Structure 1
Amino acid sequence: MNTEATDAQQIPEGFRMDAKGRLVPEEQIKEIDQIRDELVLSIIDRACELRDQLRDFKSDVFSEIEAFVQTSAQEYDVQIGGKKGNIQLVSFCGKYKVVRAIQERITFDERLQAAKALIDECLREWTADARPELAAIVQDAFRVDQAGNIRTGEVLSLRRRFDINDKRWLKAMDAISDAVQVTGSKSYIRIYERVGSTDQYRPISLDIAGV
C-alpha cells in the first residue's frame, strides 16, 4: 500500500507490524484481521489521494481567481495589490457562484486589560443605579471560550452595542480598538448553486459529511 510504503520497506516479506510495533508472521494473523487491515489501508490510500487533489484544487482556484481579478482591474488601468478581500464571482446564467473569503485571526494585547478595568469602574457605579442587565452583557463579552481564549467578536461588539458618552467608557472603547492585533488570516473557497428558480443559493459541499 502507498500509505505504508515507508514502513513496508522495513517490514520483512510475510510479516505485518501490529499496533505495538511487533512483527507478526502473516500465517499467525486471522484471515478476517488481514481483510480488515487491507480494507482500512485501501480506504486511507484513496482518502489521501482525494486530500491531495483537494489541496491542488484549492491552490489552483485561488491562483485563477487572483489572475481574473487582475485581468478585470486592467480594464480600468488599475493595479490591485495583495490577496486580501472577499471576492464573489457569479456565472453568466446566475446559477452558480464562487466566493473567496479571507478571515483574519484577531487577538488582543495587554491594553484589553486596561479597557476591562475602565469598564469595571463604570459598571460599579452604574449597577448601583439598577442597571444589572448592562453589567451582565459586558461581563459575558469578556468571558473566555472553552479553549480559554477571549471571544474577540463579543468584545468588539461592545463598541457597536451601546451608545454611552461616559468618558471612561469611551476611553475603554479606544483601548479595545488599540488592543486589536491581527495575527494572521485564513482563506476559504465556497462554491454555491442556485436552488431552482429562487434567489437562494446552497453550498456545493466538498466535505465528506456534507456530500
Structure 2
Amino acid sequence: MDDLEIITSKDALADEMASIAAELDTENAPKLDDGVVEHGGRKYMRLANGGLQLVENIRPQSLLQDQVVRKLIAEAKALSGKVQTFRDHALDEVETFVDVLNERYGAKRGGEKGNVSLVTVDQTMKVERSIGEFIDFGPELESARALFNECVQEWGEFAKAELVSMVNRGFQLSKGKVNRSALLGLLQVQSEDQRWKDAQLALQEAIVVVARKAYPRFYEKDARGKWVAISIDLASGAAS
C-alpha cells in the first residue's frame, strides 16, 4: 500500500516488535514491565486466568499488541506524575505570592485557603486557584425532605412543575442516594411559606464539607478578548 502497509507476516511482526523494544531501551524511556516470567530457563507470559503460556507459543501480533500497550501505559504513568508535580508546583507558586502579599499588608498567614486570580500586567494571561469542596449530608436531610415534600404536595397545582421535579430529583432516598445539584438548587428558590424556609435551613445545616481540594487553572485571551482555558487534558486535545 502507498501510505500504510498492513503487517501480516511473522517476520514483519518480529521486526516491528524489535523496533518497539529498541525504542523502549532509550535512556529517557520510562521503566517498563515486559510481562515476561522466566521459569526453568524458559520464558512465559501470564494469561488472564492466571496460567502461564510460553512466549514462543503466543501469536506475534498478540506479543506486539502487549508491548504497545505496556509502552503506552508506562509513558502515561510518567506523564501523570509530571502533571501532578506541575500541579503542586503551580499551587506552591500561587501560595508563595499570597504569602508575600500577606506579609506586605500585615495579614495573618495560614488558615483556610480561598479562590485566587492572578493576571499579567497586560491582562492577557491569568492563573486561578480554585477551591473545590466535596460535600455530604447529615441526618437533618430527612427533616428537610419531609418539609419540602409537605410544601409541594399542599401547594398542588400551584407548585411549578420544575420545582416539584427538583424536589423529586434531589431526594432519591428510595434509591439510597441524593442529587447534590438539585438539592443545592432548592436553596436558591424563594418562598414566603415558613415551612419552605425551615426546610432550607435544615438542608443548609445538613451540609457537611468532607474535603476541600485546590486546582490551578490557566487562561489566555484570544483575539476577541475572551478568556480561553489552557487545557491539560488528553480528552480535550492539545492546548490551544
Q: TM-score, normalised by structure 2?
A: 0.75
Asked if the contact 2:91–2:215 (Cα under 8 Å) also holds between the matched residues in 1, the reply is: no
- Aligned residue for 2:188, secondary structure, equals helix
Change (3 A) 1:23 1:141: closer
Tell me by how many angstroms 1:148 deviates: 5.0
Q: Does 1:111 align with 2:137?
A: no
Q: Which of 24, 32, 36 lines up with 2:53 in the alignment?
A: 24
1:119 shift after superposition: 2.5
Once residues 213 and 141 of structure 2 are traced to their aligned partners in structure 1, the CA distance between those partners, rounded to angstroms, is 24
Q: 2:83 aligns with which of 54, 61, 71?
A: 54
Q: Does the CA-based 8 Å contact 1:66-1:83 persist in structure 2?
A: no
C-alpha distance in 1, partners of 2:33/2:193?
A: 65
Q: In the alignment, which of 143, 149, 166 is matched to residue 177 of structure 2? A: 149
Give the Cα–Cα distance (whole angstroms) in 2 for the partners of residues 46 and 138 of structure 1.
44
Instruction: Tell me the amino acid that sits aligned with residue 208 of structure 2.
Output: Q
Are 1:160 and 2:188 counterparts? Answer: yes
Q: State the distance in 2 between where 1:74 and 1:57 align.
A: 26
Cα distance, 1:71 vs. partner? 0.8
Residue 102 (structure 2) pairs with residue 73 (structure 1): yes
Mapped contact 1:86–1:101 kept (Cα < 8 A): yes
Deviations along 1:38-61, one digit per CA (max 9) or x if unpaired, are 111111111111011111111111
Aligned twin of 1:136 = 164
Specify whether residues 91 and 15 from structure 1 end up closer, same or farther in structure 2 by C-alpha distance, changes over 3 A only.
Answer: same
Asked if 1:180 is matched to 2:199, the reply is no
The secondary structure found in structure 2 opposite 1:186 is strand
> Which structure 1 residue ranges, 4+ long, deviate > 6 Å from structure 2?
none
Deviation string 1:8-47 (CA, Å, 9 cap, x unpaired) is: 5x54463322223333222222222222221111111111
| Mapped pair 1:171 → 2:198 | yes
Larger radius of gyration: 2
Cα distance per residue 1:139-159 (max 9 Å; x no partner): 3452449x8532223223223
2:143 touches 2:202 (CA, 8 Å); kept in 1? yes
**What's the RMSD between the two structures over aligned residues?**
2.5
Q: 1:148 to 1:58 in 2, by over 3 A?
A: farther
Structure 2: state its 5+ residue gaps: 1-23, 25-30
Distance 1:158 1:30, change over 3 A: closer
Q: Count residues with an aligned counterpart.
A: 204
Q: Percent identity?
A: 28
- The equivalent of 1:40 in structure 2 is 69
**C-alpha contact 1:11 1:23 (8 A) present in aligned 2:** no
1:199 aligns with 2:228: no
SS in 2 for 1:105: strand
Query: For residues 40-90 of structure 1, what are the alpha-carbon distances to aligned partners after superposition, in whole Å with 9 as ceiling and x for unaligned?
Result: 111111111101111111111111211111012212111232352111111
Separation (CA, whole Å) in 2 of partners of 1:120 and 1:104: 27
